Chains A and B, each alone.
Chain A
Amino acid sequence: MAVSNTLNRTRSNGSRRTVDRGFQVVCLLVASLALVILVTLVTAILFRGGNWLSLGFLLNGHRENAPEQSGVGQAIIGSIVVCLLCGTAALPIGIGTAVFLEEYQPLSRAGRWLHGFIQLNVSNLAGVPSIVYGILGVTAFVYMFGLFGQIQANKPPPMEFGATYFYQTKTLGKKWVQFRATDPTQQVFEIVAPLQATNESRQAIELNVIDRSATPPSDPELRDRTVYSGATASILSTKRPWYFHLPFSKSVLSAGLTLALVILPIVIIASQEAIRAVPPSLREAAYGLGANKWQVVSTTVLPSALPGIMTGAILAMSRAIGEAAPLLAVMGGVISTTTSLGNLMDKSPVLPVTIYRWAQDENPAFENLAAAAIIVLLVFLLLMNSVAIFVRNRAERKHA
């Protein structure tokens, strides 16, 4: 006779069934609660911001005190540029680190220690709050530890490429002339002697400098290139699309690189998972055919792991596009710029910072605009996540 048959049945089948049912209901309620919160949130945002969505809203920039004419045009472009920069920086570093951690497991004691140390750091960095990366970004990218000197207002940065400086002044004939600046740190230039310049139709001319007491020439051609001695010319610059300076100062490049730091641990961990999922038999096959490590990684491991890596990277970038804190630290609360984004050293408004600024605005209409901007941001997130799911599903079908 089994021991269980000697026990008294103190728990009835009925009470056990009640507990079972009860637990099921509790689980269902908890799950629905999450759904209810999400639905409420989305509905509230749609109600507040839905009316403000229009083509103009998607194309315009921010206008002070004019919510009807404000929009997220600049912010969308800024967000896309920052996000692309972030991906371009984070992907190669992230994949490279993951390949090192997974494929190049060193044998020596020191090598194993380094390997373990990097792995530990990656895991820890994944949990660091993004504002901390923001401060790191300010030190490392905006000021570059002061290695290249200080950035001063109204002065060109210490090291720069792709910019030309010139002075501009108006002649007696009311025509603008320009000439190259030899010392761009000087804001104004005093013309005392004749010099080479270009006129409005970009022709080379010789500036004619006359004394203030002298009578202006009557010949219109000469008047167009005549200035008084001591006339001042003010500095101007043209920047090429590849304009670049060190340190990066507050710019979209700094912002992209900082966000790259934020998502780097996520990219590394996702890539490691993807690389680990490549069957060892494929590696053996490649080694067996005489491939060296690089050939195994480049021809076998990475192609098989790429869909997984891409999925992880896109999800990481969709986190990056929603980050506000590090961008506030690195670019400041920029909400509009007078010129459109021309090079990587420009500042630009981005969606999360725009939302942050609008939500704080004294004019309550801007709060509705913030809701509309949130809808735009959510659409972006949804799009990116769909792409990630699409990539994963296609890879699964291919390997089935």
Chain B
Amino acid sequence: MVLSTSPTVQRPQEFKSARPGRNQPQDSPTAIEIADLNAYYGDFQALHQVNIRIPQNHVTAFIGPSGCGKSTLLRWINRMNDIIPTARASGTIRLGDTNVLARTTDVVDLRRHIGIVFQKPNPFPKSIYDNVAFGPRLHFKTTSSQLDQLVEWSLRKAALWDEVKDRLHKSALGLSGGQQQRLCIARTIAVGPKILLMDEPCSALDPASTARVEDLIFELSEQYSIIIVTHNMQQAARCSDSTVFFYEGRVVECGPTIQVFTRPKQKQTEDYVTGKFG
């Protein structure tokens, strides 16, 4: 892969998506199709006519300055915005055959298929084991041995098992910030989602923990379609396959990460990814 040769200020240098053998997002099937989405908080319109496609088993990054609507979009994909009384949306978010935004959609079942990880690690004040078992206990009737297996599987997937296997029944609040965030990821994948939404998952973490979580995100994309909202350009470049750039509630540019970061089509994107504004 040849990178752009134009001299820029802070071009990211590492692209995991450029690794040999990685198939490109445009070649893979669609996980989520978003069409004509308009979102509002009361009278304020947060998103205007959003039309994007989220590829399956890839990492999609939402980037853009604060207040540009990227978190709003993320929170509409699994209807987390239902909690906010003033939030409304029109348009369609298509997941397979279902329209996520339809009134008839079973939100509880939807959130089982679309998991979310938040900005600040928010483990429950329970044991590590109970944190991971929380979701499965909500949805399934399991025997304790099945649950043990599921907890171990999830923690292994989240690259946390070796660090916590001897203290599963200790409080999750005793873990470090990075460990807590990986626990939150383990907790989310324990209910068996197909899609993972991550709302700035590393913004509260130190650089070493961030690197671990980024590696994890990239590994998880083998099996999950991942959408990550981030303020960190380097992060978006490093661990995503495709990137969507938002500005003032509109999608400015959307494409493979390498292209968006090295040969952006829009001037605004160029300015943003090189750090001239935002």
Contact with B along A336-373 (1 / 0, CB 8 A): 00000000000000000000000000000000000000
Residues of A within 8 A of B108 (CB): 290-292
Residues of B within 8 A of A105 (CB): 85
Contact with A along B107-146 (1 / 0, CB 8 A): 0111110011010101111000000001100110000000
**Bound-state Cα–Cα, A282 to B122, Å:** 6
| B18 interface contact, C-beta 8 A | no
**Bound-state Cα–Cα, A97 to B187, Å:** 31
A305 to chain B, nearest CB (A): 11
| B61 interface contact, C-beta 8 A | no
- A290→B109 contact, CB < 8 A: yes
A279, A281, A289, A398: the one contacting B111 at CB < 8 Å is A289
**Bound-state Cα–Cα, A303 to B171, Å:** 15
Pick from B83, B112, B115, B188 the residue with the most CB of A within 10 Å: B83
- B124→A288 contact, CB < 8 A: no
B112, B120, B122, B184: the one contacting A290 at CB < 8 Å is B112
B257 to chain A, nearest CB (A): 26
B135 to chain A, nearest CB (A): 4
Residues of A within 8 A of B179 (CB): none
* A interface majority secondary structure: helix
| B102 interface contact, C-beta 8 A | no
Given known A291-B108, A291-B138, contact A285–B80 (CB-CB < 8 A): no
**Bound-state Cα–Cα, A303 to B83, Å:** 20
| A68 interface contact, C-beta 8 A | no
| A245 interface contact, C-beta 8 A | no
- A289→B188 contact, CB < 8 A: yes
**Bound-state Cα–Cα, A359 to B109, Å:** 66
**Bound-state Cα–Cα, A287 to B120, Å:** 15
25 sampled A-B residue pairs with Cβ under 8 A: A281-B118, A281-B122, A282-B125, A284-B83, A284-B118, A285-B122, A285-B123, A286-B134, A287-B80, A287-B83, A288-B78, A288-B115, A288-B188, A289-B134, A289-B135, A289-B138, A289-B191, A290-B135, A290-B138, A291-B108, A299-B134, A303-B125, A304-B125, A398-B125, A399-B125
New A-B contacts (18) at CB < 8 Å, excluding given A284-B83, A284-B122, A295-B138: A281-B120, A281-B122, A285-B118, A285-B123, A285-B187, A287-B80, A288-B80, A288-B188, A289-B138, A290-B109, A290-B110, A290-B135, A290-B138, A290-B191, A398-B125, A398-B171, A399-B125, A399-B173
Residues of B at the A interface (CB closer than 8 Å) are 78, 80, 83, 85, 108-112, 115-116, 118, 120, 122-125, 134-135, 138-139, 171, 173, 184, 187-188, 191
- 7 closest A-B pairs (Cβ-Cβ)? A290-B111, A281-B122, A289-B135, A288-B116, A290-B112, A285-B122, A290-B108
Residues of A at the B interface (CB closer than 8 Å) are 105, 107, 279, 281-292, 295, 299-300, 303-304, 398-399
